[in-house]
A and B are shown apart, each in its own frame.
Chain A
Amino acid sequence: MTEPLLQRKWIGVAQLRLNKAVRQQYMSLPQGERVQVTYIWIDGSGEGLRNKTRTLDVEPQTIDDIPEWNFDGSSTYQAEGSNSDMYLVPVRMFRDPFNQDPNKLVLCEVLKYNRLPAETNHRMNCNKVMEEVKEHVIWFGMEQEYTLLGIDGHPYSWPTNGFPGPQGPYYCGVGADKAFGRDIVECHYKACLYAGVNIYGSNAEVMPSQWEYQVGPCEGIEMGDQLWVSRFLLHRVCEDFGVVATLDPKPMTGNWNGAGCHTNVSTKLMREEGGLEFIEQAIEKLGKRHKEHIRMYDPRGGKDNVRRLTGHHETASIHDFSAGVANRVASIRIPRQVGQEKKGYFEDRRPSANCDPYAVTKAIAYTCLLHSEDREESEEENIPAM
């Protein structure tokens, strides 16, 4: 180990040693009428989350009770120092599982100094598309995979100088030799339930120290909001435990699975009798815009996903588009039940774990419901983050 790494590990361990009993003394102090509101936003990387807190005089009942705020964008890869104020516009409120009631978490959109959306604010355009397709009642469910790392950057609980046994026994596994870090998963689940995030389920994944949780079904713009807040909760819970969650799509090269964000989709017509026809139509449209979608499915225009979508480890190759019933090596999978009942939903397996759910859901809604040969997506709508 190099010197700086040793220091980093020591500091990390020291933070873990902060006395939780002492913390509890303070956290149990009553706060009168005043309420803490933590504002959360996406930074200039398109992946990172930032947060800061302010006091309000009284508990906000709705999102309209929460004022706009601002922050220093030059410290979040979002602005120049000479003109760095950026706006935080509250868009959705949740209960705070860390500071608990009546305190709140507030997801925000970021606007530049001229009140135009920041480069990584994909929510604004997503919302426009979702408004336009409202009548279709489009539902999403996203399966967020992630990997736990120790503070040294090695996957959590892997032997320091080596690797665990090969993949096989870990998926949905139980036992200290199969499930690494379940406490984090359990606590994150409870935090989501408390906060009001629509968490659907969780399971251990194929690579050891890799886990997945699902959020949904959510309609329209809600999907992005809920997924981003669930990610904030994950990072915060991991911070409390002294470990790190990474959404990198291929944290370990070699014979180890990557991490994706499979996105399940349905519209009102797909869910009704005979809906399979609409599902197949949607898949055909998606097939014609594969490259465009790949650009939207990770924050680097496809460069991250290239490391993951190899055609191995239950992925389709990034170069080809394919679809099939119960087929986990295709770009799109139609669940077996849906094939049998001839209605339901489909699963787009291409999005990377670190995708922006606004960009993903917007692309899918646009391609399946709005795009036609004559209509061009505007320049604005099609720019990836970097």
Chain B
Amino acid sequence: MATSTSSKLSKAVKQHYMDLPQGDKVQAMYIWIDGSGEGLRCKTRTLDSEPKTIEELPEWNFDGSSTYQSEGSNSDMFLIPAAMFRDPFRRDPNKLVLCEVLKYNRKPAETNLRNTCKQIMSMVDNNHPWFGMEQEYTLLGTDGHPFGWPSNGFPGPQGPYYCGVGADKAYGRDVVEAHYRACLYAGVDICGTNAEVMPAQWEFQVGPTEGINMGDHLWVARFILHRVCEDFGVVVSFDPKPITGNWNGAGCHTNFSTKEMREDGGLKIIEESIDRLAKRHQYHIRAYDPKGGLDNARRLTGRHETSSIDEFSAGVANRGASIRIPRAVGQDKKGYFEDRRPSANCDPYIVTEALVRTCLLKEEGEEPIDYRK
């Protein structure tokens, strides 16, 4: 089993140092999304006192030529603090700070999708859009093979693993448990976890969270997962189809509701929204993975509990459809719906933004509207 060398460093030695008092000084770890649109980067700075709000955190900058974001001759990029969380690795009073990235001319970087998302969310404040995202992921050893799988081969076929228990069914539960606690400590809205259909695949859910917070909380939850896995010496992959063949892919099913949908008779609004989504399938597919649909093409095959990428479909309790209306919602005639199309490595900012544009702002056509013009 390939766990990293670093994970074997003495934790007793580490504990001695981590217990050292630090006076009034506070460590703030700035986190940002790199040029790939999927990768996370981080670096730390010392502050003279504990920041109480996000406004107290200073702007910073970094070398964008080392993160696929700029050229060496003009490489400074800006980090703008956007959301602050407690640090579950260094503990209080230290902080994790999620940031937006601006280019040298202070325009949003190409993969800074938060900027537009925030603008769109501010237009629909009164509708109170709630999201819940189900983040699936696969644990790998440092050799790139799924964690716990035999080195030269495969485990038994899918069937016993979903929500399973036992050393022959659940691979890497320690990571899941540690991640859950770390999210709770940090202040991330984690609402549940379960083992998934493929062995070494897991899922956690974040929500219900309103507006821009969905993207913030999901990105920080992903960062925490990467860091927890690093500590254990394994690797987490958000690739939507890590193993070809008769193995499930990994998605990020997105549950969505507005104030109207949650009220009596809301099912009507849900059905109207689904009609609108049906007419805009290609636009959404482009928004639902960082490669404009190319990643999802490997996953949305119409098999393994997915819909086909080429067709839009919806149905009550239907896991083979693009949109699933939960049975309880069908019965209560109000609630929410689940968009099953987003890939595990999607950017939650653009996913949530797309749902708001189509369902609340009632946009049509292939291109999003630029409301700044």
Residues of chain A whose beta carbon lies under 8 Å from any beta carbon of chain B: 16, 20-21, 97, 100, 150, 156-157, 168-169, 171-184, 186-191, 193-194, 199-204, 206, 237, 240-243, 314, 324, 326-329, 335-337
In the complex, chain A residues whose CB is within 8 Å of the CB of B10: 16, 20, 240-242
CB distance from B333 to the nearest CB of A (A): 45
Are A171 and B9 neighbours in the complex by a CB distance under 8 Å? no
Total cross-chain contacts (CB, 8 A): 146
Are B20 and A201 neighbours in the complex by a CB distance under 8 Å? no
Report Cα–Cα, A328/B67, bound state, in Å. Answer: 14
Report Cα–Cα, A171/B22, bound state, in Å. Answer: 26
In the complex, chain B residues whose CB is within 8 Å of the CB of A204: 43
Are B235 and A240 neighbours in the complex by a CB distance under 8 Å? no
Are B42 and A183 neighbours in the complex by a CB distance under 8 Å? no
Are B17 and A186 neighbours in the complex by a CB distance under 8 Å? yes
Closest to A167 in B: B66
Are A176 and B20 neighbours in the complex by a CB distance under 8 Å? no
Q: A200-B46, A324-B73, A329-B72 are in contact. Are A186 and B233 (CB under 8 A)?
A: no
Residues of chain B whose beta carbon lies under 8 Å from any beta carbon of chain A: 3-7, 9-10, 12-14, 16-18, 20-23, 25, 27, 39-46, 61-63, 65-68, 72-76, 89-90, 104, 142, 223, 226-227, 229-230, 232-236
In the complex, chain B residues whose CB is within 8 Å of the CB of A187: 13-14, 16-18
Q: A157-B4, A186-B14, A194-B20 are in contact. Are A172 and B67 (CB under 8 A)?
A: yes
Are A168 and B9 neighbours in the complex by a CB distance under 8 Å? no
Contact with A171, one of B18, B45, B66, B89 (Cβ below 8 angstroms): B66
In the complex, chain B residues whose CB is within 8 Å of the CB of A171: 41, 63, 66-67
In the complex, chain B residues whose CB is within 8 Å of the CB of A150: 5
Report Cα–Cα, A186/B27, bound state, in Å. Answer: 10
Report Cα–Cα, A327/B227, bound state, in Å. Answer: 31
Report Cα–Cα, A237/B18, bound state, in Å. Answer: 12
* 29 A-B contact pairs sorted by A residue (CB < 8 Å): A97-B17, A150-B5, A156-B5, A169-B39, A172-B41, A172-B42, A172-B43, A175-B226, A175-B229, A176-B3, A176-B142, A176-B232, A180-B4, A183-B14, A184-B9, A186-B17, A187-B13, A189-B44, A191-B17, A193-B20, A201-B44, A201-B46, A204-B43, A206-B66, A241-B9, A242-B9, A326-B75, A326-B104, A327-B75
Are A172 and B62 neighbours in the complex by a CB distance under 8 Å? yes
Are A183 and B44 neighbours in the complex by a CB distance under 8 Å? no
Q: Shortest 8 CB-CB distances between A and B: which pairs? A: A203-B43, A187-B17, A172-B41, A171-B66, A201-B45, A336-B76, A176-B4, A157-B5
Are B22 and A193 neighbours in the complex by a CB distance under 8 Å? yes
Report Cα–Cα, A237/B4, bound state, in Å. Answer: 20
Report Cα–Cα, A178/B72, bound state, in Å. Answer: 22
Contact with A202, one of B23, B25, B44 (Cβ below 8 angstroms): B44
Report Cα–Cα, A328/B200, bound state, in Å. Answer: 42
Closest to B234 in A: A176
In the complex, chain A residues whose CB is within 8 Å of the CB of B65: 314, 328
In the complex, chain A residues whose CB is within 8 Å of the CB of B234: 176
Closest to B28 in A: A201
CB distance from B38 to the nearest CB of A (A): 11
CB distance from A23 to the nearest CB of B (A): 9
Closest to A158 in B: B5
In the complex, chain A residues whose CB is within 8 Å of the CB of B23: 193
Contact with B230, one of A100, A182, A203 (Cβ below 8 angstroms): A182
Closest to B144 in A: A177
Q: A176-B4, A179-B230, A336-B104 are in contact. Are A193 and B44 (CB under 8 A)?
A: no
In the complex, chain A residues whose CB is within 8 Å of the CB of B39: 169, 173
In the complex, chain B residues whose CB is within 8 Å of the CB of A200: 45-46
In the complex, chain A residues whose CB is within 8 Å of the CB of B230: 174-176, 178-179, 182
Are A176 and B62 neighbours in the complex by a CB distance under 8 Å? no
Report Cα–Cα, A190/B15, bound state, in Å. Answer: 11
Are B61 and A190 neighbours in the complex by a CB distance under 8 Å? no
Report Cα–Cα, A324/B73, bound state, in Å. Answer: 8
In the complex, chain A residues whose CB is within 8 Å of the CB of B89: 186
Are B74 and A327 neighbours in the complex by a CB distance under 8 Å? yes
Are A175 and B235 neighbours in the complex by a CB distance under 8 Å? yes
Contact with B73, one of A168, A201, A329, A337 (Cβ below 8 angstroms): A329
In the complex, chain A residues whose CB is within 8 Å of the CB of B44: 189, 201-203
Given A184-B9, A314-B66: 9 more A-B contacts, CB < 8 Å: A168-B68, A176-B3, A181-B6, A187-B14, A190-B18, A201-B46, A326-B76, A327-B74, A328-B63
In the complex, chain B residues whose CB is within 8 Å of the CB of A157: 4-6
Contact with B6, one of A100, A183, A336 (Cβ below 8 angstroms): A183
In the complex, chain A residues whose CB is within 8 Å of the CB of B61: 335-337
Report Cα–Cα, A202/B43, bound state, in Å. Answer: 6
Report Cα–Cα, A176/B143, bound state, in Å. Answer: 11
CB distance from A151 to the nearest CB of B (A): 12
Report Cα–Cα, A328/B66, bound state, in Å. Answer: 11
Closest to A191 in B: B17
In the complex, chain B residues whose CB is within 8 Å of the CB of A176: 3-4, 6-7, 142, 229-230, 232-235
CB distance from A141 to the nearest CB of B (A): 12
In the complex, chain A residues whose CB is within 8 Å of the CB of B41: 171-174
Report Cα–Cα, A199/B17, bound state, in Å. Answer: 15
Contact with B46, one of A179, A182, A193 (Cβ below 8 angstroms): A193
Closest to A330 in B: B73
In the complex, chain A residues whose CB is within 8 Å of the CB of B20: 97, 100, 190-191, 193-194
